[in-house]
Amino acid sequence: MSGAAGEPRVASAQQGRPARAAQWWRRAWGSEGHERHTALLIGKSTVAATLAWVLSYNVLNAQSPAFAPFSAVLIMQVTVYQSLLQSTRYVGAVAAGVAVQAALGFLGGPDLLTFALVALVALTIGRWPALGSQGSQVATAAFFAFSTYISATSDFDKITQLGQIILLVLIGCGVGVLVNVTVVPPLRLRGAEHGIRSLAHALCDLVSDMHPALREGELDEERTGHWRERADQTGELVTHARTGLRTARESIHYNPRRLLRRHRGRTSFQGYGAVLEALERTLYQTASLTRSLDQWSRNQHEEQHNYRGFLQCYADFVESISEITQVLAALDEDKLNEQAPQLCRLADQAQECRHRVSDQAEQDGLPLADPGRPYGVLVIEATRLMEEFQYTCDVLQHHVDR
């Protein structure tokens, strides 16, 4: 029975694969995103590998033509800058590996001890930080060079074959870089925006859940503990945002597409970098705020103060910053002329709400200086949050005014 019940599910899954594949290709064709970037990388790598094979096999008639297409695909990086950097390191690593084999091979001969010495020296050189992620290619090239060395019949043939390895790698890297530069060179300007939008969206979701509960005074331990947990889990988003900003910055280096008219004015990321740093600090302050609320919820039964008016004012403040995060979650440099003034107006409204929080706390006579109570901490966190959001709005407005 279990086998019969499982067969329809397997058949359904198999039937759904063509539909998912078709959907993937529609996304790749219809909009710029991960799917299109992946399809372009596969296509460009195929073109580069094919050209490198033609040059190495048909033109040079090399004995090991696979080195060229392998090299071409290996250095087909996300950005032109990375392609140039990694190809330089890769050629250096291969040249070092071949040189080690040539030196020790001609000195010691093709025996086991020579191979062990080649491995030792090549693996040691591969640890050189300047080679980066290509350090392992020193040993790989040395091993392939040793295999080529022992199969050659004469010293001249050995030298020719070892030199040919380096030549094939140069051809492959050259073809790979050329294809990456000339065939839709990758320009990841939207990566910076995407990282900021992701952080702002996470923050927006959190504070949007908080202000209704604050307004109603519903601060039970389960709710505040969930807020605290969500705020503490934003580290991965911050890492992705930093990576996106770094990739966006790298993508403009040596990229001919940045010279096109439609991309002018979109090659400076100082403003986005400042906004990202401000959002990181904002998330930190929000995490501190959730910790204070969580600790308060666990000790509310000991409170003797009337704090409902304070909570309602604080809810108004949190709601005002949620409106700011909604705009940041839809950040688009093409719309900054509209979004930056809107953010400034929302920041002014949030400042007014923050002032009311302080006034309400003093009016209710809450013990702001008591370190054992959360009121002073909440007021301070509101001030710090507002400083970061005001700074973010000012940075974006300055970016528009330039």
3-class secondary structure per residue, 29-40: HHCCCHHHHHHH
The confidence score (pLDDT) of residue 28 equals: 57
Instruction: Check if the beta carbon of residue 237 is closer than 8 Å to that of residue 202.
Output: yes
**Mean pLDDT across the stretch 26-45?**
71
Q: What is the reported pLDDT for 68?
A: 93
Q: How far apart are CA 278 and CA 235, in angstroms?
A: 14
Rounded to whole angstroms, the Cα distance separating 365 from 363 reads: 5
* Residue 300 backbone phi and psi in degrees, to 5: -60, -30
The residue-averaged pLDDT of 284-303 equals 74
Structure pTM?
A: 0.59
User: Under a CB-based contact definition with an 8 Å cutoff, are residues 354 and 317 in contact?
Assistant: yes
Question: What does the DSSP 8-state code read for residue 217?
Answer: T
Query: Is the predicted pLDDT of residue 90 greater than 70, yes or no?
Result: yes
* Higher pLDDT, residue 25 or 245: 245
Reading phi first (left if > 0) and then psi (alpha if -120 to 50, else beta), residue 217 is in left
367 CB-near residues (< 8 Å, 6+ apart): 305, 373, 375, 376
Give the pLDDT band of residue 92 (cuts 50, 70, 90).
very high
CA distance 148 to 79: 34
Domains of the chain: 31-182 (no CATH), 190-401 (1.20.58)
Residue-level pLDDT at 237: 76
Residue 10 has pLDDT above 50, yes or no: no
How far apart are the C-alpha atoms of 384 and 401, rounded to whole Å? 26
Q: Are 146 and 98 in contact (CB under 8 A)?
A: no
Give the pLDDT confidence of 173-202 residue by residue, as tens digits. 999 999 988 887 766 656 667 777 888 888
Helix, strand, or coil here: 205? helix
**pLDDT tens digit string along 340-357?**
888 889 999 999 999 998
Sign of torsion over alpha carbons 16, 22, 25, 26? negative
Identify the pLDDT of residue 204.
87
Q: Give the tokens for residue 333.
A: 């440099």
Residue position matching structure tokens 């970016």:
399
- The residues near 394 (Cβ < 8 Å, ≥ 6 apart) are 344
Mean pLDDT of 11-23: 58
What pLDDT digit, counting tens, does each position of 98-154 carry? 999 999 988 888 889 999 999 999 999 999 999 998 999 999 999 999 988 888 888
Q: Is the pLDDT of residue 32 over 70?
A: no
Spatial distance between the Cα atoms of 148 and 161, rounded to a whole number of angstroms: 7
* One-letter amino acid of 284: Y
DSSP secondary structure letter of residue 374: S
Instruction: State the Rg of the chain over Cα.
Output: 30
